[in-house]
């Protein structure tokens, strides 16, 4: 099934029968992707004495409690409420869910001290004048093991402040990346890329979102896509999310 989208004077056709899920599912246990020193996801049946609400343990239904942290346990989408004194929720800030997106693949640059950084020059080169609503960044290397990577205390790659400022200047409203954060793991609380992208606090861009800990398999080629950015309706700065790409048919 195909759908036609009109955006900024251009017409796009997308194949809805070929969804490309770029989220990492939330799974119980230590094998799930993890960052920021959070505990593993727990998915446990509700217990009331000898009454266990799980069918394989004799219950009539499966009725489980799930414990997780959206920022550290999997793919999530966050709003400016992640860094603001004000209480902004992703459920209130994200009001549109379909976007024209550009997927690019970037090898972060090695810098003095061992940091690996995505720079403004790299983004300028890859976008080459394009101004998409959403930008999906896949970093190299890109092994399947990313879906259960343990990022805490590993100093993962991150986005340079000037790179985030470039995205603001370009008009990108939704940034998706396969790293645990757009900022350095330990930066003294500066969060420079977050602030530059959201222009907080002087010119706050409430409509913008950042989605972290995605995984884009290698068989998906760089290019333009229709993005459906799905999430749960949490009144919180972040929610677990399910970004799905659909190929644009020329």
Within-domain flag for 162: yes
33 within 8 A of 76, measured Cβ to Cβ: no
Q: Is residue 47 part of a domain?
A: no
Q: Could you give the count of Cα atoms lying within 13 Å of 164 in the half-sphere of its Cβ?
A: 24
Domain that holds residue 222: 2-26+70-249
Cα distance between residue 157 and residue 216, in whole Å: 16
Number of compact structural domains in the chain: 1
- The answer, yes or no, to whether residue 83 has pLDDT greater than 90, is yes
Under the banding of pLDDT at 50, 70 and 90, the label for residue 229 is: very high
Q: What is the pLDDT of residue 49?
A: 83
Q: Would 35 be classed as within a structural domain?
A: no
Q: Are 110 and 120 in contact (CB under 8 A)?
A: no
pTM of the model: 0.96
d(CA 182, CA 211): 9
Residue 77 counted as domain residue: yes
Q: Does residue 46 lie within any of the structural domains?
A: no
Query: Which CATH number characterizes residue 207's domain?
Result: 3.50.30.50
d(CA 105, CA 126): 8
Residue-wise pLDDT for 97-136, tens only, equals: 999 999 999 999 999 889 999 999 999 999 999 999 999 9
Q: Answer whether residue 59 is part of any domain.
A: no
> Is residue 44 a part of any domain in this protein?
no
Residue 21 is assigned to a structural domain of this protein: yes
């Amino acid at each position: 099934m195909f759908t036609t989208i009109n955006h900024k004077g251009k017409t796009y056709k997308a194949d809805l029968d070929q969804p490309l899920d770029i989220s990492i599912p939330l799974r119980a246990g230590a094998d799930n992707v993890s960052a920021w020193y959070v505990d593993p996801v727990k998915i446990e049946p509700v217990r009331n004495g000898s009454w266990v609400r799980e069918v394989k343990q004799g219950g009539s239904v499966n009725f489980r409690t799930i414990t997780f942290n959206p920022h550290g346990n999997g793919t999530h989408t966050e709003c400016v409420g992640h860094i603001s004194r004000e209480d902004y929720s992703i459920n209130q800030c994200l009001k549109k869910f379909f976007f024209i997106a550009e997927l690019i693949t970037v090898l972060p640059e090695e810098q003095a001290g061992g940091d690996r950084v995505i720079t403004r020059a790299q983004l300028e080169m890859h976008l080459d004048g394009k101004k998409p609503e959403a930008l999906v960044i896949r970093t190299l290397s890109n092994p399947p093991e990313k879906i259960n990577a343990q990022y805490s205390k590993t100093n993962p790659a991150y986005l340079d402040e000037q790179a985030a400022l470039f995205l603001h200047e370009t008009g990108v409203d939704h940034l998706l990346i396969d790293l645990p954060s757009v900022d350095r793991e330990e930066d003294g609380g500066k969060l420079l890329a977050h602030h530059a992208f959201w222009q907080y606090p002087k010119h706050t861009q409430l409509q913008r979102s950042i989605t972290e800990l995605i995984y884009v398999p290698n068989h998906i080629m760089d290019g333009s896509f229709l993005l459906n950015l799905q999430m749960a309706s949490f009144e919180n700065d972040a929610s677990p999310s399910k970004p799905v790409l659909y190929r644009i048919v020329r």
